Amino acid sequence: MSAGSSTLLSTQKASDSGLQAVLHPLVLLTISDYITRHALREQKGPIVGALIGQQHGREVTIEHAFECATIAVDGKVLLDADWFAQRLEQMKTIHKSPQLDLVGWYTVLPKTGPTPSVLPIHNWILSEHNESALLLAFHSEEALSHSVGSKLPLTIYESNWEAEDTKQEAGEDKEMKDGEAPLQLRFRELPYSVETGEAEMISMDFVARGAGNATVVQPRDSKKSTKTEVDGKGKQPATEASEDAATDEHILTNDEEEMIAALTAKANAIKMLQARINLLTTYLERLPESFRSGEKPMSSDHQTPGDQQTIPSYTILRSIQALSNRLSLLAASDASTGLEQEMLSEANDVHLMELLNDVMQSVTEARGIGKKHGVIESAKNRKNNMENLADRSAYMSGAGDLTI
């Protein structure tokens, strides 16, 4: 152990455990943003956050991070258990595909190693959530004095229970004790690699271009007020006024910059998608003729005649087939007329709906004509009845009439 190093560091090598950590850039963005806001707002208290990811065998991926609320108990810094449980459950609900879980926590520590102040939080996480939790130590002093090509200002540690070393003074007999030596928690440095997905590459490019950050843009009024020099007659020189007008024309507001950045990110995503589609199209076009026609592959097809053809891969072809079947606008590769049949079926459905609409309109018109015809016929019947009653009353015999 070198001079000035922490007493909590393990004396074993990192390669003994075989554990490998995979770090994603979004974690670094979250941690740096938290530290920046904490420093600018002059907040008190430690910087503590949780790390979530996945563990596959001896490989641990650190994919996302979030801040944690802390409380002070008897001079020790601990996590708020209720708040932490609710926040962790929310993060698990958000990141369901793939399912992420707590893999460790992070804080700001010196380069020399962990200090005893991290033991209460680390022991609580080991006992309550993950018995193999990692500790990510961010070194802020190295972040301020970084150079091009230097390593990231952080170190990842794993927990390791080791027997406590009991050194005997010279000339003294070694005391015999029953039982095993007590175990003490030590931190062993882990090797890590940085892995970036395509979505994270777009986010990193968005941040690298300076869009959506906290850069202060000086308003136009303040820029105009900076040049207040006038001549003896109380007039500003024409050259300075023209420079101000030319400068104001090229100043963009925050909303305009964010819109340009969003459109640029979408354009980059579309270009990347187009490049992937062109790559797949080129791969399929350069397959041997037997693979493109669907016939049984010949033994000579697996040879590489030159740069004009690619080596067929059943794994890649199955992936392309599965992707094509999932798309609703494409027909399956094994059905040559699938797209035409689907279009014909949709056209028939549209025509059938039009015919049904015409039939319903005709039925409605027929019912209207029937109602009008019924009204007219009932009026005629009433009129005939009235005329018959009038004729009968005219020829009705009275008491003084003579009967022949």
Question: pLDDT, tens digit, for every residue of 136-154?
Answer: 999 888 777 766 567 888 9
Strands laid side by side in the 192-194 sheet: 183-189, 154-163, 134-138, 101-108, 48-56, 59-67, 20-23, 192-194
At residue 228, the pLDDT reads 46
Question: Which of the four pLDDT bands, split at 50, 70 and 90, describes residue 108?
Answer: very high
Lowest mean pLDDT among 20-29, 43-52, 59-68, 198-207: 198-207
pTM, entire model: 0.50
DSSP secondary structure of 260-273? HHHHHHHHHHHHHH
The residue that leads in pLDDT, 179 or 347, is 347
Domain assignment present for residue 56? The answer is yes
Half-sphere exposure (CA, 13 Å, Cβ side) for 337?
A: 3
Q: Is the pLDDT of residue 214 over 50?
A: no
Task: Establish if 20 belongs to a structural domain.
Answer: yes
pLDDT reading at 236 higher than 70? no
Number of H helices, E strands in the chain: 11, 10
Residue 304 pLDDT class (50, 70, 90 cuts):
very low
Given a cut of 50, whether residue 4 has pLDDT beyond it is yes
Q: Given the DSSP bridges, would you call strands 101-108 and 134-138 parallel, antiparallel or unpaired?
A: parallel
Per-residue confidence band for 168, with pLDDT thresholds at 50, 70 and 90: very low
The answer to whether residue 274 is domain-embedded is no
Point out the domain boundary residue: 195, 214, 244: 195
Residue 254: inside a domain, yes or no? no
- 201 occurs within a structural domain: no
pLDDT digits (tens, 9 = 90+) for 347-388: 899 999 999 999 999 999 999 999 999 999 998 998 888 888
Tell me what pLDDT residue 73 has.
87
Mean pLDDT (the chain) is: 77
The Cβ-side half-sphere exposure at 225, using a 13 Å CA radius, reads 5
In three-state secondary structure terms, 102 is: strand
The token pair at 72 is 């002070």
Segment 239-245 shows an average pLDDT of 52
Report the domain count for the chain.
2
Long-range contacts of the stretch 357-363 (C-beta < 8 A, 24+): none
Residue 209: inside a domain: no
Residue-wise pLDDT tens digits, 247-287: 556 677 878 888 888 898 899 989 998 998 898 888 888 88
Provide the pLDDT confidence category of residue 335 given band limits of 50, 70 and 90. Answer: low
Residue 284, number of CB atoms within 10 A of its CB: 15
Q: Are 56 and 99 in contact (CB under 8 A)?
A: no
Residue 158 included in any domain: yes
> Looking at residues 115-136, what average pLDDT do you find?
91
CA dist 324 → 279, 280, 281, 330 (Å): 15, 11, 12, 6
* pLDDT > 90 fraction of the chain, expressed in percent and rounded: 23
The CATH number that applies at residue 56 is 3.40.140.10
Q: Which residue has the higher pLDDT, 338 or 187?
A: 187
Cα gap 249→41, rounded to integer Å: 34
Q: Looking at residue 184, what is its pLDDT?
A: 83
The mean pLDDT of 3-29, rounded to a whole number, is: 78
Q: Contact, 171 vs 220, CB < 8 A?
A: no
Confidence of residue 175 (pLDDT cuts 50, 70, 90): low
Within a domain: residue 283?
no
Residue 64: which domain range? Answer: 14-164+184-195
Confidence category of residue 15, pLDDT binned at 50, 70, 90: low
User: What's the pLDDT at 122?
Assistant: 93
